[in-house]
Amino acid sequence: MNVTATLFGQLIVFTVLIWFIKQYLWEPIINTLEDRKTRVAEGLAAAEEGHKFEEQAQKQVEEELGSAKAQSADLIAQAQKRASEIVEKAKADAVDEANRIKTAAEAEIAMERSRASEELRSQVSTLAISGAEKILGKEIDSSAHAKALEELAAKI
Amino acid sequence: MSEAPAISKPVEYIQHHLQNGSIGGKPESLVDFGVFFWDIFAVTVVLAGIFAFVSYKVGQNLDPDKPTGLQNILELIVEFVNQTVKDIFPDADQWIGPLAITIFIMVILMNTMDIVPVDLLPSLVAGVASIFGVDPHHVYFKAVPTTNLDTTFALGLMVFLLIIFYNIKSKGFVGYIMMFLTHPFAAKSLPLKIVLAPANVGMTIIEELAKPISMGLRLFGNMFAGELLFLLIALLGVGWAMPGQIALGSLWSIFHIMVIILQAYIFMLLTVIFLGLASQKLEDH
C-alpha cells in the first residue's frame, strides 16, 4: 500500500491508450454511428416521399380512370346515336325503296291494264262486228261503220 | 502446492500474496519513487495491449450496415459512454468520450483480474521463475492492478490534471485563481470578499484534492477488499474444506462481478462529472 514510481508507468500507459482508443476505436465508431443515423433518417425520408408519390400516383390513376370512363361512356352514347341514326336511315331508305317499287308496280299494273283493256276493246269491236254479221247475216263494211264501232268500243 | 503451507501459516500466505513483484526492493515509506512494481505494470500493459489490439481490429473492419460480433459489443459500449457523456457534459470536447471509455474499459479489465483464481497467476509466474533458477518462494506477483494505489492514483492524478486543464481552458488562468478566492463562500462587498478569501482558498484546495484522492481510494478500497476476501476464501485449501472454498469462491465471484462493473462505471461517471464541472464558466457571485 504505497505509492511508487509505478504510478508514472501507469499514467503513461493510460495516456497512450486514451490517444490510441480515440484514434482507432472512438472516432471510427462514432462516425459509423453518425453515418448510420443520417442514412436511416434519409431512408425514412425517402420512404415517406415514396409513400407520398405512390399516393399521388394513385390519385392520378383514379383521375385518369374516371376521365377514361367518361370518355368511353361518351363514345358509347355517340355510337348508339350513330347506330340508331343508321337504323333510321336504313328504315327510311327501305320505305323509300318500297314506295318506289310499289309505284313502279302500280304503274306497270296500270299500263298492263290499259294495254289489256285496249286489247280487249279491239277484240270486243271485232267480236261485235262478227256478232252483228251473224245477226244481220251479211257482211258489215267495217270502214262504213267504223264510227259506230268505235263509239261502241269506247262505251265498253 | 502452495496451499499446504498456506493453511498452516495463513498470515504468511496472505502477506506473500499482497506483496508486489518489484524492482528496487520493498518501498521504505508511504511514497517511495525508488521502487517500481513490474507485476501490476506488466498486467496493465498486457490488458491495455489486448484492449488496443481488439479496438484496432474492430476499428479497421467497421461494417456500417451489418455489424457483427465484437463490433456490436463495442458499438454498444461506445454508444452507452457517449450518451452518458452527452447527458452529463453536453458541450464536451472530443477527448472526453475516449477518456471516459478508456477508463471504463480499462478499470473493468483490471478489476476482472480479480476473478482469476488468486493462486493461478502467482503460481504460474513462480513456476516460470523456478525454471530460471529463482527460488519460487521469493517471487512475488500481484495480478490485480486496481488493488494497488499506484494504478488508482494514476487514474486519479490523470483526472486531477485534466480538471486543472479544463478549468483553465474554460475560465482562463485568472478565472481559475478567482475560483479559489471566491468559492464556496461568496460575498457582495469587497472587504467581505477579502475576509472570506483565506477560508475559500483552504476549502477549494481541499475540495479539489479530495476529488482525485476519493476516486482513487474508492476504487482501491473496493478492489483490495474483494481481493482480500478471495485470499481468505483460498485459505480453506484443498482438503476437507474444498467444497466450501468452491461454493464461497463462486458466490463471491458472482457478487464481485457487480462490484467490478459498478466501480468502473462510478469512476467513469465521476470523471465526466468533474470535468463537466471544471468546464463551467465562473459564476458571477
Judge: A24–B56 Cβ closer than 8 Å, yes or no. Answer: yes
pLDDT of residue A3 exceeding 70, the answer is yes
A40 touching B (Cβ < 8 Å): no
Q: Which of A10-24, A29-43, B3-17 has the lowest mean pLDDT?
A: B3-17
What residue ranges do the domains of chain B occupy?
A: 5-284
Residues 6 or more apart whose CB falls under 8 angstroms from that of A70 comprise none
pLDDT of residue A144 exceeding 80, the answer is no
Give the pLDDT band of residue B84 (cuts 50, 70, 90): very high
Q: Does residue B222 have an active-site annotation?
A: yes
Residues 6 or more apart whose CB falls under 8 angstroms from that of B236 comprise B7, B242, B244, B245, B248
* Coil/strand/helix, residue B37: strand
Mean pLDDT of B224-244: 85
What is the reported pLDDT for A84?
95
The chain-wide mean pLDDT, for chain B, equals 87
Report pLDDT digits (tens) over A80-106.
999 999 999 999 999 999 999 999 999
For residue A33, the tally of other CB atoms under 10 A from its CB is 17
Note the helical H segments in chain A: 6-21, 27-136, 146-155
What is the reported pLDDT for B32?
81
Q: What ipTM was assigned to the predicted interfaces of this complex?
A: 0.86
Give the whole-angstrom CA distance, residue B85 versus residue B231: 37
What is the reported pLDDT for B1?
40
pLDDT of residue B5 exceeding 50, the answer is no
For residue B114, the tally of other CB atoms under 10 A from its CB is 24
CA distance A46 to chain B (A): 18
pLDDT of residue B6 exceeding 60, the answer is no
The catalytically annotated residue of B22, B222, B250, B279 is B222
DSSP assignment string, B59-112: HHT--SSS--HHHHHHHHHHHHHHHHHHHH-TT--TTHHHHHHHHHHHHHHHHH
Give the whole-angstrom CA distance, residue B255 versus residue B111: 13
Across the interface, of A11, A16, A24, the residue whose CB is closest to B55 is: A24
Give the whole-angstrom CA distance, residue B26 versus residue B32: 9
Chain A to chain B Cβ contacts (< 8 Å): 137
For residue A126, the tally of other CB atoms under 10 A from its CB is 13
- Chain B positions touching A18 (Cβ under 8 A) are 95, 98-99, 102
Give the pLDDT band of residue A38 (cuts 50, 70, 90): very high
- Chain B positions touching A24 (Cβ under 8 A) are 52, 55-56, 59-60
pLDDT of residue B285 exceeding 50, the answer is no
The more confident residue out of B89 and A59 is: A59
Buried b (16+ CB within 10 A) or exposed e, B134-157: eebeebbbbbbbbbbbbbbbbbbb
Give the whole-angstrom CA distance, residue B36 versus residue B41: 9
A2 touching B (Cβ < 8 Å): yes
What is the reported pLDDT for A139?
64
Residues 6 or more apart whose CB falls under 8 angstroms from that of B263 comprise B107, B111, B146, B218, B219, B222, B223
